[in-house]
Structure 1
Amino acid sequence: MEVIAENRKARFEYFILEEFEAGMILLSSEVKSLRERKANISDAYVTEKKGEIWLNNMHIAEYKAANQKNHKPKRERKLLLHKKEINKLIGQIKTSGITVVPLSIYFNDKGLAKTKIAIVKGKKLYDKRATIKQREWEREKSRLSKNNL
């Protein structure tokens, strides 16, 4: 599994409730740009339109060699999921305080572009502080264990 882009901000900003793996409908120039790792999903989010799930605001840079058939960098991209997963996501999207964001984009073993999306709930400021405190404690603990050896 070759990870192309990761949304590290999402793990800090949200509580992750459930994760899904989804395929994406991409143009050829988008796939080539992804192979060059020219993607950004930090501001991306998932919406529902007419019973379908769409990934919005994901930036895939234009491919240099594609002249006329190049893509728009921030166009909407349809996500491919099973019907049960789509229904579950639609129900969660309509719930107040719950959103769906992409966590990472990667190529699977077969070479297909996939995105890992998650149902998330926003953290409060004190939750973010607790996360920072826990992370700093883990660093300090590992630093102390290295010094004791």
Structure 2
Amino acid sequence: IGLKGGFGKVRVGRLNSVLKDTGGFNPWEGKSYYLGLSNIVQPEERHVSVRYDSPEFAGFSGSVQYVPNDNSGKNRSESYHAGFNYKNSGFFVQYAGSYKRHNFTTEKHQVHRLVGGYDHDALYASVAVQQQDAKLTWRNDNSHNSQTEVAATAAYRFG
């Protein structure tokens, strides 16, 4: 359900997360460990949420998204997502971030992703960098978990 106009687009329902919308570097949608991009695409989900997408201004656009606690299940909290995009003459840059205060095994879970590349006519090339950080909440465990992933993709479309 949504509204679209000169102000942008407001939607409510089971929607792609802002992180999922930066997934062009993974054109095959592979999430399996055997397909190689499993860790970097793991936070890409579809949530029952409220999302606003701004109109494009001189190549710039943005999105904000709120996922309520009721959608997250037991021992979890709401999450917040934001994304910013720029495109010009085939070149593009995308940033997406998410924050969830509580999860079953973590607290203060953050994901930040930056994607840059070129997409024009039949050629597509991009590089993505993603940083995840969270505090582990297992009993008697006061440690942090942090990981950085990098992915590069080049593709040529026929037809």
TM-score (norm 2): 0.22
The answer to which structure has the higher helix fraction is: 1
Decide which structure has the larger Cα Rg and report it.
1
The answer to which structure has the higher strand fraction is: 2
TM-score (norm 1): 0.23
